[in-house]
Amino acid sequence: MNASADKALHRWGFDDTEFIIHDDRSVELTGSRYEICGARMPAFIPFVESSLGVRVELSDLRLPQRRVAPEARRNAAFCAAVAAEFEEGKYSFDAEQRLSHSHGQATADEIYAVLYTALPRVVDMVFFCATERDAERIVALASEHQVCLVPYGGGTNVTGCLQPPEDDRMVVSVDTGRMNRIEWLNPLNRQVCAQAGITGRELEQQLERQGFTTGHEPDSIEFSTLGGWISTNASGMKRNRYGAIENIVDSVTVVTPKGKLDTLGQFPRQSAGVQVKDVLFGSEGNFGLITKAVLRIRPLPEVRTYQSLVFPDARRGVAFLFELSNSSILPASIRLVDNGQFRFGLALKPASGKRAQLKTLLQKVVLRGVKRIDPKQMVVATIGMEGTSMEVRAQEAALAEIAARYQGFFAGGSNGRRGYNLTFAIAYIRDFMTKFQILGETLETTLPWDKIHDVVEAVKTETQHIHRECALPGRPFLSYRVTQLYASGACVYFTYAVSMKGMKDPGPIASKAEDRLRHTIVRNGGAVSNHHGIGKFRSQLLASVMPPMNAEMIRSVKATIDPSNVFGAQNGVFLRGFGRPRSEASSAE
Amino acid sequence: MNASADKALHRWGFDDTEFIIHDDRSVELTGSRYEICGARMPAFIPFVESSLGVRVELSDLRLPQRRVAPEARRNAAFCAAVAAEFEEGKYSFDAEQRLSHSHGQATADEIYAVLYTALPRVVDMVFFCATERDAERIVALASEHQVCLVPYGGGTNVTGCLQPPEDDRMVVSVDTGRMNRIEWLNPLNRQVCAQAGITGRELEQQLERQGFTTGHEPDSIEFSTLGGWISTNASGMKRNRYGAIENIVDSVTVVTPKGKLDTLGQFPRQSAGVQVKDVLFGSEGNFGLITKAVLRIRPLPEVRTYQSLVFPDARRGVAFLFELSNSSILPASIRLVDNGQFRFGLALKPASGKRAQLKTLLQKVVLRGVKRIDPKQMVVATIGMEGTSMEVRAQEAALAEIAARYQGFFAGGSNGRRGYNLTFAIAYIRDFMTKFQILGETLETTLPWDKIHDVVEAVKTETQHIHRECALPGRPFLSYRVTQLYASGACVYFTYAVSMKGMKDPGPIASKAEDRLRHTIVRNGGAVSNHHGIGKFRSQLLASVMPPMNAEMIRSVKATIDPSNVFGAQNGVFLRGFGRPRSEASSAE
């Protein structure tokens, strides 16, 4: 069937990997895919309890309900044409397939909904596109029969962009997972042409065998796809060294209702008038089906190593990043986690023996005594370095020199590696907590340097307001990390979690809370999103800050290549009623 | 009058600076603005003679003719409205002003034409826009009265984008030179908001006083403007450290016939759907009048220093750059000049005393004997390094380590500095040579790494063909430098010069030759342009490689913001007849 046969249904990740709880209330990540797999972690539940001010009982655990999909809407002529043209395995009306292609990974609106309540809408058919010819044909048939197409990559987005649109037409999810080949690789030009449905994992594994990497490493790399990265305008953890997706892609091919669209040449840079390539980043499935792209690749680094840095508090940590962001000698990845996320990481340490406890104790002495560090205030930067041995040495030296000015000191590579790799386990924890009616979500933004602390405070305050107003149990958890550095700002990534124990309808409450927090961020000077995108959930938020002419300009581009709105996913400025007041928008057209 | 009162009329540069020839046939750059000013350079004319195979006599020197402009076409209602609304100094019908606003700096089609023959068309009025309010009013009046506006920045482009369009309407050049203020500077966010008409020189001088720089340093920095950089999608010599213009601009404001267009927020990065900002880079005056932009700034570097590297031949030099392009520790600027440009640089050394001659002799020994370098094959990289002292040390160490693998060795900082600064004198030499009917032009492109040597050979061969076919005197001069490094390619910059001594109509011959060479580059796998843009002169070339749907998409953007084509400069895809066969295009609409 689908290329990602090892993928879990609906929830995040691999089918063989999930957090479980033991009778002694220790937790464990099953399988063997990650460093933390297979060890009992006794500190986690206590950490959750103390953070959220609620008890977590085994008896609270609720298993997902049986999911049902509504009857598929079938456009008879289109279905007949598809059946005549394609073999059976190319398309499906199966309920589970349709359900799993109707959502991304947003917690409240999607994962909680599909597992515990219901999705508002479900696609009517899934088409498994395997070739560019398939793409051209399905687009032609959809055009002919007035069917709506929604491109599907890895299903990892958190913006609702896969949520089927309100549309009277039959809606077909076009799964690109079978377009997962490398078409060519040119080592002399450091370029690879890959099909759009290839996942980051597939791409990197194949490149690695030939000694290359793209260096694009979003947290979702195991499942998200090349086409998805372009549509979402994605960025990855190693952007410092390799760039974000717009710096990695040299050209894109898109099948649109008006024909195949190729961007101009396969060059790393051109000044050739307005670049069509640039309007494909962030197009979120509204323009056509991305079928392949040419990417820059880089030789595998000679050295890959990790480090971590401890700072006395967030102000000094951020000031360090501000200075570091001016350096040209940067580690591939550096992420500063606040005290809450640092303690979250500690809570995921396995049950430790005597010797390990002693070491921790010693560390405590060092932290408290010698360096006068308050464990309740300290923050940690996890660092991934790549390059020649000379580059990595220079990176470490630059870090040390700058960190010293902010009372920062190295805390070792194993802490750094662990912090870096923990990223891949976070979403599993999200799914685990959801079973206890603890809902967590991430909110990411770009912030000007001088607004970071204010926005953090504003978001913290708002979580308290929400908590009181909604009379939620316990207290909210809010932590953040600074994950990307730019000259004029940084990407800040909040994690918000709250217990909904005993609440009647947790999904909508959490969804509304999240929305309020996002508005708080934007109102206080943050960007709508750094790299997650708009989709449907942030469309109103975008409308609140976007000049109307901008939306018109973007719509005019679409009018040229998709005049009858075959790609009617309605994301971003294409959401029905975009820019109109909410009351008006909901009753519109 | 104009903000650049010290600017020379028509020809390149400052009014007080030009190359002159003495009776002993030594040349000298007047004034004191540049390092090479004020010294007699006896080797230059002999170098030109041996390179081009022609004699250069003082008697060949031809001074420009008196220029005349055709009568201005006046839209009476518009002129009356302008006179009613603006004070007298805000606009001009003066012939010299109109002429100087009707061309850029392309040699054959513009500079040779304006100085020795005639421009095909001349704008009818020059409007000196000083404020955003001025901009809004002139655009409103032009809309109302069907007048065509052509934005004017520094007039340094080489694409014909200032050439007045074939248009029945009155054509007004909107000079932005008086919009040259910094509106605000935020040191905490490292951002500056500057008006679009500010020149690079003005901007950097003001920033420097506050301890900052944008780091954007195109060869034209003394005269080109912020608005011009965005319109042209420009790039500068120090891109490695500071990025090209699209990496420096956080937001743009444009006055369009449909109102003021602001891009979304002032963030270094967003994933907020399709970004309107991205379609302004390379818009070449077709969309509106850029009035200001927010730029990222960086603290002035602690250290600025130069270096140079010698390689035995071009193959090793390029192989060195290929490896270096994978390093994250790059000098701010590195440019590899071929043997021809190296010798060109030597020819501009001042008459030297005994001691200097001895040193040169010693160098020769070193080059020939110890290192076994052939002076006829060797190539040189000029390097500009910036950063903290640690960064600069690391840059030099990385260069040394990689260069050693390609038999490269350091040849000193003074050679590097000289090579770097010579850039700013090149265009003066162009103007000097033009007086001797020696026409030179640059052709820049982005090349995939594996095509650099092939394209160089193809262009060399084509210059020979052209020379024979046109029966030109002597032989052509062709040299190149590699000026920008990317993972998947490099920017290559050709310099082509040819003597037209005795030819009847040099302009069109040189123009056609240049066009043939550009087609040769593109046919062999090069980009239409790396950073100079399309304008009018490369519009047909662009059409030869651009899929028609791309042009349609770009036109649809314009239709939203300028439906009645007020900004009718007709650059790039907007040139009348774009994409149609030449014969058809010239007689079209």
Q: How far is CA B82 from CA A233, B128, B134, B135, B470, in A?
A: 45, 12, 11, 12, 49
Cα–Cα distance for residue pair B151/B135, rounded to 1 Å = 10
- Residue B94 region by backbone torsions, left for phi larger than 0, else alpha for psi between -120 and 50, else beta: beta
ipTM, two decimals: 0.95
Out of B271, B279, B529, closest to residue A533 by CB = B271
CA distance A98 to A92: 8
Q: Taking CB atoms and an 8 Å limit, are B189 and A388 in contact across chains?
A: no
Q: Rounded to an integer, what distance in angstroms lies between the CA atom of residue A438 and that of residue A436?
A: 5
With CA atoms as reference, the chain A residue closest to B241 would be: A328
pLDDT value at B588 more than 70: no
pLDDT at residue B580 greater than cutoff 60:
yes
**Residue A365, CB half-sphere, CA atoms under 13 Å: how many?**
6
Q: Which residue bears the tokens 């970071």?
A: A452
Torsion of CA A149, A150, A151, A152, to 10 degrees: -130
* Three-class secondary structure assignment of B386-401: EECHHHHHHHHHHHHH
Contacts of A329 in chain B (CB under 8 A): 328-329, 390-391, 394
Q: What angle do CA B33, B35, B36 make, to 5 degrees?
A: 100
Q: Read off the pLDDT of each residue in B468-490 and give the average, rounded to a whole number.
A: 97
Report residue B86 as tokens: 């603006």
CB A510 within 8 A of CB A500: yes
The 10s digit of each residue's pLDDT in B410-448 is 999 988 898 888 889 999 999 999 999 999 999 999 999
| Residue A409 β-bridge partners | A310
When scoring A247, A267, A453, A482 by the number of chain B Cβ atoms within 10 A, the one with the most, hence best to mutate, is: A267
Choose, out of B231, B247, B271, the residue to mutate when testing the contact with A (most A CBs < 10 Å).
B271
d(CA B114, CA A347): 75
CA distance B337 to B382: 8
- Would you give the DSSP letter of residue B489? E
Q: Is residue B352's pLDDT more than 80?
A: no
Ordered per-residue pLDDT tens for chain A, 589 residues = 444 668 998 999 999 999 999 999 999 999 999 989 999 999 999 999 999 999 999 999 998 887 889 999 999 999 999 999 999 999 999 999 999 999 999 999 999 999 999 999 999 999 999 999 999 999 999 999 999 999 999 999 999 999 999 999 999 999 999 999 999 999 999 999 999 999 999 999 999 999 999 999 999 999 999 999 999 999 999 999 999 999 999 999 999 999 999 999 999 999 999 999 999 999 999 999 999 999 999 999 999 999 999 999 999 999 999 999 999 999 999 999 999 999 999 999 888 765 565 566 557 656 666 667 888 999 999 999 999 999 999 999 999 999 999 999 999 998 889 888 888 999 999 999 999 999 999 999 999 999 999 999 999 999 999 999 999 999 999 999 999 999 999 999 999 999 999 999 999 999 999 999 999 999 999 999 999 999 999 999 999 999 999 999 999 999 999 999 999 999 999 999 998 765 544 443 3
Distance, in Å, from the CA atom of B425 to the CA atom of B220, rounded to the nearest integer, reads 10
Print burial letters for A203-229: b (CB count within 10 Å at least 16), e (below 16).
bbebbeeeebbbbbbbbbbbbbbbbbb
Residue type, B118: A
Contact B289, B195 (CB under 8 A): no
Taking CA–CA distances from B535, the nearest residue in chain A reads A273
Q: Do B189 and A449 touch (CB under 8 A)?
A: yes
CB contact under 8 A, A279 and B282: no
Torsion, Cα of A264, A269, A273, A274 (10° steps): 80
Which alpha helices (H) appear in A53-131, and where do they start and end?
A: 76-85, 95-100, 113-116
Q: Is A151 helix (H, G, I), strand (E, B) or coil?
A: strand
Asked if A449 lies within 8 A of B264 by C-beta distance, the reply is no
pTM exceeds cut of 0.90: yes
Rounded Cα distance, A580 and B399, in Å = 57
Cβ–Cβ under 8 Å, residues B553 and A276:
yes
Do residues B204 and B213 lie in contact, with contact meaning Cβ atoms separated by under 8 Å?
Answer: yes
A537 and B545 Cβ atoms separated by less than 8 Å: no
Q: For chain B, state the CA radius of gyration.
A: 24
Give the chain A residue whose CA is nearest to the CA of B232: A271
Q: How confident is the model at residue B372 (pLDDT cuts 50, 70, 90)?
A: confident
Rounded Cα distance, A217 and A271, in Å: 28
CA-based max dimension of chain A? 77
C-alpha–C-alpha distance, residues B492 and B484, integer Å: 8
Q: What is the pLDDT of residue A370?
A: 65
Q: Please answer whether residues B560 and A553 qualify as being in contact, where contact means their C-beta atoms are separated by less than 8 angstroms.
A: yes
Q: Which pLDDT does position B141 carry in this prediction?
A: 98
* Backbone angles phi and psi of B409, in degrees to 5: -145, 150
Distance from CA of B325 to the nearest CA of A (A): 10
pLDDT at A351: 80
For an interface test with B, the pick among A229, A246, A274, A443 (most B C-beta atoms closer than 10 Å) comes out as: A274
Could you read off the pLDDT of B236-260 as tens digits, one per residue? 999 999 999 999 999 999 999 999 9
The sign of the CA dihedral A266, A268, A272, A277 is positive
Interchain CB distance below 8 Å, B542 and A282: no
Which chain A residues have a beta carbon less than 8 Å from that of B272?
Answer: 233, 282, 527-529, 533-534, 542, 546, 572
Contact B531, B226 (CB under 8 A): no
Which among A278, A282, A484 has the least Cβ separation from residue B279? A278
Chain B residues inside the 8 Å CB shell of A518: none
Q: How far is CA A46 from the centre of its chain?
A: 28
* Set A152, A406, A428, A493: catalytic member: A493
Residue B545: the pLDDT is 96
Residues A536, A162: Cα–Cα separation, whole Å = 9
Residue B65 confidence (pLDDT):
83
pLDDT confidence of residue A587: 42
Give CA separation, A417 vs A216, A302, A305, A310, A320, in Å: 18, 17, 8, 14, 20
Tell me how far apart the alpha carbons of residues B202 and B181 are, in angstroms, rounded to a whole number: 9
